[in-house]
Structure formats: structure tokens, C-alpha cells
């Protein structure tokens, strides 16, 4: 299951309902917004994994951050600490506020939802992405470790949507689709 599906389907879409209520959107608009934001966030995570120390940094954050609480208890997404955590995650993923603004602008172009609203939603989406990764990594980690894949295998499988052994093509394809490109 990919990150977006994990977020949308966990607890019958409870996170979607919470985000919709929190930002005054309908469920379909919220799904559209998350469908535009999450792949860009996943791409940022994948790019960070390619950097020296990136995997260790991600695994450390997943192990210590208790990020799955936001999927398991979606009402916590409205806590100021969730926004602070999300902004911290965005800083690690994108490195700059201007990059985060570009993500919101791209999502706004795809969805028709206000860029300002998407900027506000972005930290929440980031906490959900980390929550999904934490949840999936902890579930898959045991199976991967038993088969010798370890945590890298668990994270890679989350980002590898078509299960071809390479997450990069999936991430590039997701970003291209959501940016409106016609890349092949």
C-alpha cells in the first residue's frame, strides 16, 4: 500500500474527515488536496534518502517521533504540536520555506484549492506522511527483518508503488503527474 492510500484508507478515512473539518473542506476536496500534496512530500522524502545519512535520519525520526499517533488519533492533527511537528518535517524534507510554498502552488494549480489554504494544510499533510511511514515501517519492519530486508526495505517498499524494486521511478512519475508534466 502506498503512502497516499495508507492515509486515505486508515480507520475508514478518519484522517480525511478530520482534515476536511479542520480546514473547512468537503471530503472530496480534502482527498484532492492530499492527492496533490502527498506525492510531492513522498518525493522529498525519497530525495532525502539519497543524501548521505538520509536513511539514518529518517529511521531515527520514525523511531522516536511517534508519528503514527496522527493516523491512529486524527483529532490530534488540530493540536498546535501537530502543526509544529509538521513544520519541522517540512524543514527536513524541503529545507526551505520557499520550496514548501512551491509545493502548495503546484497543488493549488492541480486542485483549484487556494494556495493559502494548502500552505496551512501542508504541515498537517507532512505529519500524515510521517505517520503513514511510521505505521507501515513498523508493520513491515518485522517481516522485512525476518526476510533480511531490514528497515530500508520497509521504507523502500512504501515508496515503491509498482513494486518493481525501484521507488525513484514511482516518485518521479507521481511528481510529474501532479505537476501536470507529460514526462515518460
Give per-residue pLDDT as tens, 46-97.
887 777 877 777 777 777 767 778 888 999 999 999 999 899 889 888 888 8
Quickly tell me which residue has 493540536 as its cell.
Answer: 79
Q: Which residue has the higher pLDDT, 70 or 163?
A: 70
Q: Report CA Rg, the chain.
A: 15
Residue 147: pLDDT over 60:
no
CA distance 126 to 25: 18
Specify the pLDDT at position 144: 47
pLDDT tens digits for 102-144? 999 999 999 999 999 999 999 999 999 988 888 777 665 544 4
pTM here is 0.74
Specify the pLDDT at position 50: 78
Residue 166: pLDDT over 80:
no
Task: Give the highest mean pLDDT range of 25-34, 37-46, 129-138, 172-181.
Answer: 25-34
Report which secondary-structure segment, H or E, holds 137: helix 115-147
Specify the pLDDT at position 140: 57
Q: For residue 1, give every residue at least 6 positions away whose Cβ sits within 8 Å of its Cβ, in sequence order, or none.
A: 9, 136
Amino acid at each position: 500500500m502506498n503512502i497516499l492510500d495508507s492515509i486515505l484508507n486508515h480507520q475508514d478515512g478518519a484522517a480525511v474527515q478530520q482534515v476536511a473539518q479542520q480546514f473547512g473542506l468537503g471530503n472530496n476536496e480534502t482527498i484532492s488536496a492530499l492527492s496533490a500534496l502527498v506525492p510531492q512530500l513522498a518525493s522529498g522524502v525519497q530525495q532525502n534518502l539519497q543524501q548521505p545519512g538520509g536513511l539514518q535520519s529518517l529511521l531515527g525520526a520514525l523511531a522516536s517521533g511517534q508519528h503514527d499517533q496522527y493516523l491512529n488519533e486524527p483529532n490530534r492533527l488540530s493540536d498546535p504540536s501537530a502543526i509544529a511537528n509538521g513544520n519541522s518535517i517540512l524543514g527536513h524534507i524541503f529545507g526551505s520555506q520557499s520550496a514548501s510554498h512551491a509545493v502548495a502552488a503546484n497543488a493549488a494549480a492541480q486542485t483549484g484549492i487556494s494556495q493559502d489554504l494548502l500552505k496551512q494544510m501542508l504541515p498537517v499533510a507532512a505529519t500524515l506522511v510521517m505517520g503513514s511511514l511510521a505505521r507501515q515501517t513498523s508493520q513491515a519492519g518485522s517481516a522485512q527483518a525476518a526476510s533480511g530486508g531490514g528497515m530500508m526495505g520497509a521504507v523502500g517498499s512504501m515508496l515503491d508503488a509498482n513494486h518493481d524494486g525501484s521507488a525513484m521511478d514511482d516518485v518521479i512519475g507521481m511528481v510529474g503527474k501532479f505537476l501536470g508534466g507529460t514526462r515518460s
